[in-house]
Amino acid sequence: MKALSKEQLAGQRLMVGFDGPDFNDDVKYLIDCLQVGGIILFAQNVKSPEQIKELCTAMQSHATATGNPPLFIAIDQEGGQVARLKAPFTQFPGNPHMTMEEDAIHFAEVTATELSQAGINMNLAPVMDVAPRNINSIMAARAFGHDPAWVTRLGIKVINHLQQNQIMAVAKHFPGIGRTVLDSHLELPNLDAELADLQSFDLIPFEASIASNVSGILLSHILYQNIDPQWPASLSPRIARDLLRDQMGFAGVTLTDDLDMGAIAKHFDIQTIIGQALEAEIDIVMICHKGPNIELAFEEMVKLFTDSPELNKKAIASARRIMKLKKQYLGFKGSEVQA
């Protein structure tokens, strides 16, 4: 691959949503003009297995026709409370209801088959958060359980069996949100745990995820005040870069949670958000809803890559991680990203 333009470097860092079930002009604009690297789907984008396959095929074909790399097409299909694909897709009771490793394997294999048939290549799962027994954890209905070892055992089975069946797995929500009781969709939770507390409990499943070569890790919108009192994990160089990459050795693709969520959107403007995410060396910023923030994020990235040689250098490193994953799972034939 020849040296990527600033626009391509920016577009590949975006995973975005759109309205409706059709391959429409909005989707074409995202692929043509913003050159987005990823699309995230929700229930409102899905009518039937046939329709979603047709939509995903059209999006990938358009990316190819416009000279762009293949798209990450992602969805949240955890089972239970969070499952964007409804019947006739297989419905599972959810992570808390898994009582043995075979349950996790069955979920992952069936889900991988159905996602592949639909043209979806990335599952924003499994949840690797640990929900303690002694609090009203926001993740109680979505976590595998209360014990880090049990969460690890089941989560790793999901990761391995999704990825063995060519579906990229994304472990979430780093560095762990099981201790929180406030919903980050609405407001910014503040957690006062020390790093040592996280290392002995919350981080255990993520360490195992890294050892199992999980494709992606998604960062939470939680303020871990004893690690970084200023920035939530999804915007924090101390957490996303220093802890996850440098200390824990994760070399895969990192993603923010949805930047439209109240924890972020109520506190920071999009320019600040993008600047922080890039400084934290997070590969993909996720903006899940149609609106001006998608284009503003793209424009801010192009500006920062133009103005800052250091951020441009980091952008090339990020593009290499993204393209490596696209080669591994999507058959991308492009050559090495050049500086």
How far are the Cα atoms of 45, 92, 234, 317, 338 from residue 78, in angstroms, in the given order?
Answer: 17, 9, 21, 30, 36
Asked if residues 178 and 132 have their Cβ atoms less than 8 Å apart, the reply is: yes
> What is the C-alpha separation between 53 and 85, in angstroms, rounded?
12
Where in the sequence numbering do the catalytic residues fall? 185, 257
Q: Determine the CATH number of domain 11-330.
A: 3.20.20.300
| Residue (of 323, 318, 229) closest to 280 by Cα position | 318
Read off the pLDDT of residues 270-308 as tens digits, 9 standing for 90 and up.
Answer: 999 999 999 999 999 999 999 999 999 999 999 999 999
- Show me where the domains of the chain are located: 11-330
Q: Mean pLDDT across the chain, nearest whole number?
A: 95
Given a cut of 70, whether residue 184 has pLDDT beyond it is yes
Tokens of 183: 């919903």
Read off the pLDDT of residues 100-109 as tens digits, 9 standing for 90 and up.
Answer: 999 999 999 9
> What is the C-alpha separation between 291 and 29, in angstroms, rounded?
13
> What is the C-alpha separation between 236 and 7, in angstroms, rounded?
24
Question: How many other β-carbons are positioned within 10 Å of the β-carbon of residue 93?
Answer: 12
Read off the pLDDT of residues 216-229 as tens digits, 9 standing for 90 and up.
Answer: 999 999 999 999 99
Given a cut of 70, whether residue 338 has pLDDT beyond it is no
Confidence at 269, pLDDT banded by 50, 70, 90: very high
> What is the C-alpha separation between 231 and 204, in angstroms, rounded?
23
Q: Half-sphere exposure of 319 toward its Cβ, with a 13 Å CA cutoff? A: 28
Q: What angle, rounded to 10 degrees, do the helices at 101-118 and 148-164 form?
A: 30
